[in-house]
Amino acid sequence: MAKFEEDDDKPKGGGRKIAVPKIKIPSVAEIRSLVTGIRIPSVDLGIIAGGLAIATISAGAAVFGVRMYLPERKIQIVNNPKDVENAKTYNPQGMPTFTIGPNVNTTFVTHISHPRVHESAYVHPQATVLGAVEVVAKALVAPQASIRGDEGQGIRIGEASGVMDGAVIHGPPTEQGGIYLERNQVRMDGQSYSVFLGDRVTLAQQSQVYGPSSIGDDTYIGHQALVVRAEVGKRCVLEPRAAVFGVRIPDGHFVPAGVIVRNQTQADILPLITGDYPLRDINSQTVEVNVALAEGYNALYPRRSGEAGHDGHGGAAAGGAAEGHH
Protein backbone atom coordinates (compact mmCIF):
# COMPACT_ATOMS: atom_id res chain seq x y z
CA MET A 1 0.00 0.00 0.00
CA ALA A 2 1.25 3.50 -0.78
CA LYS A 3 2.29 5.41 2.34
CA PHE A 4 1.52 9.07 2.99
CA GLU A 5 4.16 11.05 4.85
CA GLU A 6 3.71 14.50 6.24
CA ASP A 7 6.22 17.25 5.68
CA ASP A 8 7.10 18.95 8.91
CA ASP A 9 8.01 22.12 7.10
CA LYS A 10 5.47 24.85 7.57
CA PRO A 11 4.52 27.11 4.69
CA LYS A 12 4.99 30.82 5.16
CA GLY A 13 1.24 31.30 5.38
CA GLY A 14 1.13 29.40 8.63
CA GLY A 15 -0.69 26.31 7.27
CA ARG A 16 0.56 22.82 6.60
CA LYS A 17 1.51 21.28 3.27
CA ILE A 18 -0.82 18.66 1.73
CA ALA A 19 0.51 15.12 2.07
CA VAL A 20 1.65 13.76 -1.34
CA PRO A 21 1.46 9.99 -1.89
CA LYS A 22 4.59 8.20 -2.97
CA ILE A 23 3.73 5.37 -5.36
CA LYS A 24 6.18 2.62 -6.18
CA ILE A 25 6.20 1.83 -9.92
CA PRO A 26 6.82 -1.90 -10.59
CA SER A 27 9.73 -2.86 -12.81
CA VAL A 28 9.40 -4.59 -16.19
CA ALA A 29 10.64 -7.81 -14.67
CA GLU A 30 7.95 -7.63 -11.98
CA ILE A 31 5.21 -7.04 -14.62
CA ARG A 32 6.44 -9.97 -16.73
CA SER A 33 6.46 -12.20 -13.66
CA LEU A 34 2.90 -11.13 -12.81
CA VAL A 35 1.53 -11.74 -16.30
CA THR A 36 3.17 -15.13 -16.82
CA GLY A 37 1.90 -16.22 -13.48
CA ILE A 38 -1.76 -15.91 -14.50
CA ARG A 39 -3.53 -19.22 -15.03
CA ILE A 40 -7.12 -19.49 -16.37
CA PRO A 41 -8.88 -22.64 -15.18
CA SER A 42 -10.12 -25.01 -17.88
CA VAL A 43 -13.66 -24.54 -16.61
CA ASP A 44 -13.45 -20.82 -17.34
CA LEU A 45 -12.07 -21.51 -20.81
CA GLY A 46 -15.04 -23.78 -21.51
CA ILE A 47 -17.45 -21.08 -20.37
CA ILE A 48 -15.76 -18.53 -22.64
CA ALA A 49 -15.88 -20.87 -25.68
CA GLY A 50 -19.51 -21.72 -25.03
CA GLY A 51 -20.39 -18.04 -24.81
CA LEU A 52 -18.72 -17.31 -28.12
CA ALA A 53 -20.57 -20.19 -29.78
CA ILE A 54 -23.94 -18.99 -28.44
CA ALA A 55 -23.20 -15.46 -29.64
CA THR A 56 -22.33 -16.72 -33.13
CA ILE A 57 -25.48 -18.84 -33.38
CA SER A 58 -27.62 -15.95 -32.15
CA ALA A 59 -26.14 -13.60 -34.75
CA GLY A 60 -26.77 -16.13 -37.54
CA ALA A 61 -30.35 -16.65 -36.39
CA ALA A 62 -30.93 -12.90 -36.38
CA VAL A 63 -29.64 -12.54 -39.94
CA PHE A 64 -31.79 -15.48 -41.08
CA GLY A 65 -34.85 -13.95 -39.41
CA VAL A 66 -34.31 -10.61 -41.11
CA ARG A 67 -33.95 -12.30 -44.49
CA MET A 68 -37.14 -14.30 -43.91
CA TYR A 69 -39.21 -11.16 -43.29
CA LEU A 70 -37.67 -8.97 -46.01
CA PRO A 71 -39.82 -8.68 -49.14
CA GLU A 72 -38.65 -10.94 -51.99
CA ARG A 73 -36.75 -9.03 -54.66
CA LYS A 74 -38.08 -9.82 -58.11
CA ILE A 75 -35.80 -9.95 -61.15
CA GLN A 76 -36.81 -7.61 -63.91
CA ILE A 77 -36.64 -9.18 -67.35
CA VAL A 78 -36.08 -6.73 -70.18
CA ASN A 79 -36.74 -8.14 -73.65
CA ASN A 80 -34.94 -6.56 -76.55
CA PRO A 81 -37.43 -5.81 -79.36
CA LYS A 82 -34.98 -7.37 -81.83
CA ASP A 83 -34.75 -10.64 -79.88
CA VAL A 84 -37.28 -12.45 -82.06
CA GLU A 85 -35.57 -11.21 -85.20
CA ASN A 86 -32.26 -12.42 -83.81
CA ALA A 87 -33.67 -15.87 -83.00
CA LYS A 88 -33.98 -15.35 -79.26
CA THR A 89 -37.27 -16.07 -77.48
CA TYR A 90 -38.29 -16.28 -73.81
CA ASN A 91 -40.23 -18.87 -71.88
CA PRO A 92 -42.95 -17.91 -69.34
CA GLN A 93 -40.36 -17.66 -66.57
CA GLY A 94 -38.46 -15.02 -68.50
CA MET A 95 -35.45 -17.19 -69.31
CA PRO A 96 -34.15 -17.05 -72.87
CA THR A 97 -34.90 -20.28 -74.70
CA PHE A 98 -31.89 -19.73 -76.93
CA THR A 99 -29.00 -17.32 -76.97
CA ILE A 100 -28.30 -17.65 -80.63
CA GLY A 101 -28.29 -15.07 -83.34
CA PRO A 102 -26.63 -13.60 -86.40
CA ASN A 103 -23.20 -12.09 -86.69
CA VAL A 104 -22.82 -8.37 -87.29
CA ASN A 105 -21.57 -6.60 -90.38
CA THR A 106 -17.93 -5.56 -90.00
CA THR A 107 -14.94 -4.68 -92.15
CA PHE A 108 -14.00 -8.37 -92.27
CA VAL A 109 -17.51 -9.85 -92.61
CA THR A 110 -19.69 -8.26 -95.26
CA HIS A 111 -22.78 -10.49 -95.02
CA ILE A 112 -25.05 -11.61 -92.21
CA SER A 113 -25.42 -15.30 -91.34
CA HIS A 114 -27.78 -17.00 -88.91
CA PRO A 115 -27.03 -20.26 -87.09
CA ARG A 116 -28.71 -23.45 -88.24
CA VAL A 117 -29.68 -25.80 -85.42
CA HIS A 118 -31.32 -29.11 -86.25
CA GLU A 119 -34.57 -29.80 -84.40
CA SER A 120 -33.09 -32.91 -82.76
CA ALA A 121 -30.04 -30.99 -81.49
CA TYR A 122 -30.12 -29.13 -78.18
CA VAL A 123 -28.45 -25.82 -77.34
CA HIS A 124 -28.66 -24.87 -73.67
CA PRO A 125 -30.11 -21.40 -72.93
CA GLN A 126 -26.83 -20.35 -71.32
CA ALA A 127 -24.75 -21.29 -74.35
CA THR A 128 -23.88 -18.83 -77.12
CA VAL A 129 -24.08 -19.63 -80.83
CA LEU A 130 -23.47 -16.75 -83.23
CA GLY A 131 -23.24 -16.29 -86.96
CA ALA A 132 -22.30 -18.94 -89.51
CA VAL A 133 -22.70 -22.05 -87.34
CA GLU A 134 -24.37 -25.34 -88.19
CA VAL A 135 -25.39 -27.67 -85.36
CA VAL A 136 -26.30 -31.05 -86.87
CA ALA A 137 -28.78 -33.68 -85.64
CA LYS A 138 -28.56 -35.01 -82.06
CA ALA A 139 -25.71 -32.66 -81.14
CA LEU A 140 -25.54 -31.14 -77.66
CA VAL A 141 -24.23 -27.67 -76.76
CA ALA A 142 -23.93 -27.42 -72.98
CA PRO A 143 -24.16 -24.40 -70.60
CA GLN A 144 -21.57 -21.64 -71.06
CA ALA A 145 -20.24 -23.09 -74.30
CA SER A 146 -19.35 -20.44 -76.88
CA ILE A 147 -19.46 -21.11 -80.63
CA ARG A 148 -18.71 -17.93 -82.50
CA GLY A 149 -19.09 -17.88 -86.24
CA ASP A 150 -18.97 -14.10 -86.30
CA GLU A 151 -15.29 -13.83 -87.23
CA GLY A 152 -14.07 -17.15 -88.53
CA GLN A 153 -17.09 -18.08 -90.62
CA GLY A 154 -18.30 -21.59 -91.26
CA ILE A 155 -18.35 -23.68 -88.06
CA ARG A 156 -19.85 -27.17 -88.15
CA ILE A 157 -20.84 -29.27 -85.12
CA GLY A 158 -21.30 -32.81 -86.44
CA GLU A 159 -24.03 -35.33 -85.75
CA ALA A 160 -24.19 -36.57 -82.15
CA SER A 161 -21.24 -34.34 -81.23
CA GLY A 162 -21.03 -32.56 -77.89
CA VAL A 163 -19.62 -29.17 -76.98
CA MET A 164 -19.39 -29.23 -73.21
CA ASP A 165 -19.53 -26.59 -70.49
CA GLY A 166 -17.18 -23.68 -71.04
CA ALA A 167 -15.79 -25.03 -74.32
CA VAL A 168 -14.92 -22.41 -76.95
CA ILE A 169 -14.88 -22.63 -80.76
CA HIS A 170 -13.59 -19.60 -82.64
CA GLY A 171 -11.31 -18.64 -85.51
CA PRO A 172 -9.57 -15.73 -87.25
CA PRO A 173 -11.38 -13.84 -90.03
CA THR A 174 -12.10 -15.99 -93.07
CA GLU A 175 -13.00 -12.93 -95.11
CA GLN A 176 -11.60 -9.46 -95.61
CA GLY A 177 -13.66 -6.96 -97.54
CA GLY A 178 -15.48 -9.65 -99.51
CA ILE A 179 -12.33 -11.63 -100.32
CA TYR A 180 -12.17 -15.07 -98.69
CA LEU A 181 -8.93 -15.87 -96.91
CA GLU A 182 -8.03 -19.46 -97.76
CA ARG A 183 -5.18 -19.46 -95.25
CA ASN A 184 -7.75 -19.21 -92.44
CA GLN A 185 -9.95 -22.05 -93.71
CA VAL A 186 -9.90 -25.84 -93.84
CA ARG A 187 -11.35 -27.75 -96.75
CA MET A 188 -13.73 -30.59 -95.85
CA ASP A 189 -16.15 -32.43 -98.12
CA GLY A 190 -15.61 -29.88 -100.86
CA GLN A 191 -16.43 -26.90 -98.65
CA SER A 192 -14.36 -24.44 -96.61
CA TYR A 193 -14.75 -23.98 -92.87
CA SER A 194 -13.15 -22.10 -90.05
CA VAL A 195 -13.69 -25.06 -87.69
CA PHE A 196 -15.07 -28.45 -88.69
CA LEU A 197 -16.17 -31.01 -86.09
CA GLY A 198 -16.94 -34.45 -87.49
CA ASP A 199 -19.62 -36.78 -86.18
CA ARG A 200 -19.58 -38.09 -82.60
CA VAL A 201 -16.87 -35.65 -81.54
CA THR A 202 -16.60 -34.52 -77.91
CA LEU A 203 -15.15 -31.23 -76.74
CA ALA A 204 -14.86 -31.71 -72.99
CA GLN A 205 -15.25 -28.96 -70.41
CA GLN A 206 -13.16 -25.81 -71.03
CA SER A 207 -11.47 -27.19 -74.12
CA GLN A 208 -10.78 -24.80 -77.01
CA VAL A 209 -10.58 -25.18 -80.77
CA TYR A 210 -9.24 -22.22 -82.74
CA GLY A 211 -9.41 -22.25 -86.51
CA PRO A 212 -8.56 -23.10 -89.08
CA SER A 213 -8.95 -26.57 -87.54
CA SER A 214 -10.74 -29.86 -88.10
CA ILE A 215 -11.58 -32.70 -85.72
CA GLY A 216 -12.23 -36.16 -87.17
CA ASP A 217 -15.12 -38.51 -86.35
CA ASP A 218 -15.19 -40.25 -82.95
CA THR A 219 -12.45 -38.08 -81.46
CA TYR A 220 -12.32 -36.90 -77.86
CA ILE A 221 -10.79 -33.51 -76.93
CA GLY A 222 -10.19 -33.61 -73.17
CA HIS A 223 -10.71 -31.08 -70.40
CA GLN A 224 -8.82 -27.81 -71.02
CA ALA A 225 -7.14 -29.27 -74.09
CA LEU A 226 -6.22 -26.86 -76.89
CA VAL A 227 -6.31 -27.23 -80.67
CA VAL A 228 -4.90 -24.32 -82.70
CA ARG A 229 -4.65 -24.36 -86.51
CA ALA A 230 -4.42 -28.12 -86.46
CA GLU A 231 -6.04 -31.23 -87.92
CA VAL A 232 -6.88 -34.00 -85.48
CA GLY A 233 -7.68 -37.34 -87.09
CA LYS A 234 -10.42 -39.86 -86.42
CA ARG A 235 -10.67 -41.90 -83.21
CA CYS A 236 -8.06 -39.77 -81.45
CA VAL A 237 -7.85 -38.67 -77.82
CA LEU A 238 -6.34 -35.46 -76.49
CA GLU A 239 -5.97 -36.00 -72.79
CA PRO A 240 -6.62 -33.12 -70.35
CA ARG A 241 -4.49 -30.01 -70.97
CA ALA A 242 -2.84 -31.46 -74.05
CA ALA A 243 -2.18 -28.90 -76.80
CA VAL A 244 -1.51 -29.16 -80.52
CA PHE A 245 -0.35 -26.28 -82.71
CA GLY A 246 -0.26 -26.30 -86.51
CA VAL A 247 0.12 -30.07 -86.92
CA ARG A 248 -1.84 -33.07 -88.12
CA ILE A 249 -2.54 -35.82 -85.58
CA PRO A 250 -2.81 -39.21 -87.33
CA ASP A 251 -5.95 -41.33 -86.91
CA GLY A 252 -6.12 -43.51 -83.83
CA HIS A 253 -3.40 -41.77 -81.76
CA PHE A 254 -3.51 -39.96 -78.44
CA VAL A 255 -1.73 -36.96 -76.94
CA PRO A 256 -0.80 -37.55 -73.28
CA ALA A 257 -2.02 -35.14 -70.64
CA GLY A 258 -0.12 -31.86 -70.56
CA VAL A 259 1.96 -32.63 -73.67
CA ILE A 260 2.42 -29.79 -76.18
CA VAL A 261 2.87 -30.82 -79.81
CA ARG A 262 4.43 -28.05 -81.88
CA ASN A 263 5.84 -29.78 -84.97
CA GLN A 264 4.89 -32.64 -87.27
CA THR A 265 7.78 -34.84 -86.16
CA GLN A 266 6.35 -34.85 -82.63
CA ALA A 267 2.88 -35.56 -84.02
CA ASP A 268 4.03 -38.53 -86.10
CA ILE A 269 5.53 -40.37 -83.13
CA LEU A 270 2.56 -39.99 -80.78
CA PRO A 271 1.46 -43.25 -79.13
CA LEU A 272 -1.16 -45.43 -80.77
CA ILE A 273 -4.46 -46.20 -79.03
CA THR A 274 -4.43 -49.91 -78.26
CA GLY A 275 -6.73 -52.31 -76.46
CA ASP A 276 -5.09 -51.64 -73.10
CA TYR A 277 -5.27 -47.84 -73.37
CA PRO A 278 -7.35 -46.71 -70.34
CA LEU A 279 -9.29 -44.02 -72.23
CA ARG A 280 -10.02 -45.99 -75.40
CA ASP A 281 -13.79 -45.98 -74.71
CA ILE A 282 -14.13 -42.52 -73.19
CA ASN A 283 -15.57 -40.91 -76.31
CA SER A 284 -18.16 -43.58 -77.11
CA GLN A 285 -19.41 -43.46 -73.52
CA THR A 286 -19.58 -39.65 -73.57
CA VAL A 287 -21.41 -39.58 -76.91
CA GLU A 288 -24.04 -41.95 -75.57
CA VAL A 289 -24.65 -39.67 -72.59
CA ASN A 290 -24.76 -36.48 -74.67
CA VAL A 291 -27.24 -37.86 -77.20
CA ALA A 292 -29.51 -38.97 -74.35
CA LEU A 293 -29.28 -35.50 -72.79
CA ALA A 294 -30.14 -33.80 -76.08
CA GLU A 295 -33.18 -36.05 -76.52
CA GLY A 296 -34.27 -35.56 -72.91
CA TYR A 297 -34.01 -31.78 -72.90
CA ASN A 298 -35.79 -31.50 -76.22
CA ALA A 299 -38.63 -33.60 -74.80
CA LEU A 300 -38.73 -31.44 -71.65
CA TYR A 301 -38.69 -28.17 -73.59
CA PRO A 302 -40.41 -28.94 -76.93
CA ARG A 303 -40.12 -26.36 -79.68
CA ARG A 304 -42.26 -25.75 -82.70
CA SER A 305 -40.84 -26.15 -86.19
CA GLY A 306 -38.98 -23.02 -87.22
CA GLU A 307 -38.82 -21.58 -83.69
CA ALA A 308 -35.67 -19.90 -82.38
CA GLY A 309 -33.13 -21.30 -84.74
CA HIS A 310 -34.72 -24.68 -85.30
CA ASP A 311 -36.50 -26.31 -88.15
CA GLY A 312 -37.27 -29.84 -89.12
CA HIS A 313 -34.50 -30.16 -91.65
CA GLY A 314 -31.60 -28.27 -90.10
CA GLY A 315 -32.60 -25.19 -92.07
CA ALA A 316 -31.84 -21.55 -91.42
CA ALA A 317 -33.20 -19.67 -88.45
CA ALA A 318 -35.02 -16.36 -88.72
CA GLY A 319 -34.72 -16.20 -92.45
CA GLY A 320 -30.95 -16.61 -92.76
CA ALA A 321 -28.47 -19.34 -93.49
CA ALA A 322 -25.27 -20.62 -91.90
CA GLU A 323 -23.07 -19.22 -94.59
CA GLY A 324 -19.33 -18.76 -94.63
CA HIS A 325 -18.25 -22.13 -96.02
CA HIS A 326 -17.99 -22.20 -99.78
Beta bridge partner(s), residue 55:
none
Residue 229 gets the label, from left (phi > 0), alpha (psi -120 to 50) or beta, of left
Judged by DSSP in three states, 33 sits in helix
Q: Which residues of 193-217 are buried (b: 16+ CB within 10 A; e: fewer)?
A: bbbbbbbbbbbbebbbbbbbbbbbb
Non-local CB neighbours of 32 within 8 Å, separated by 6+ positions: none
> Where does residue 229 rank: exposed (0-12), middle (13-18), buried (19+ CB within 10 A)?
middle
Tell me the three state secondary structure of residue 166: coil
List CB contacts of 17: < 8 A, sequence separation 6 or more.
6, 7, 9, 10, 11
The one-character DSSP state at 105 is -
Q: Name the active-site residue from 134, 151, 159, 323.
A: 151
Cα dihedral angle (106, 109, 110, 111), rounded to 10 degrees? -110
* Phi–psi pair at 23, nearest 5 degrees: -105, 135
3-state secondary structure of 208: strand
Question: Measuring CA to CA, which residue among 137, 147, 124, 139 is closest to residue 290?
Answer: 139
Whether 288 is catalytic is: no
AA letter at 159: E
C-beta of residue 196 within 8 angstroms of C-beta of residue 214: yes
- The C-alpha atoms of residue 157 and residue 151 are separated, in whole angstroms, by 17
Residues marked as catalytic: 151
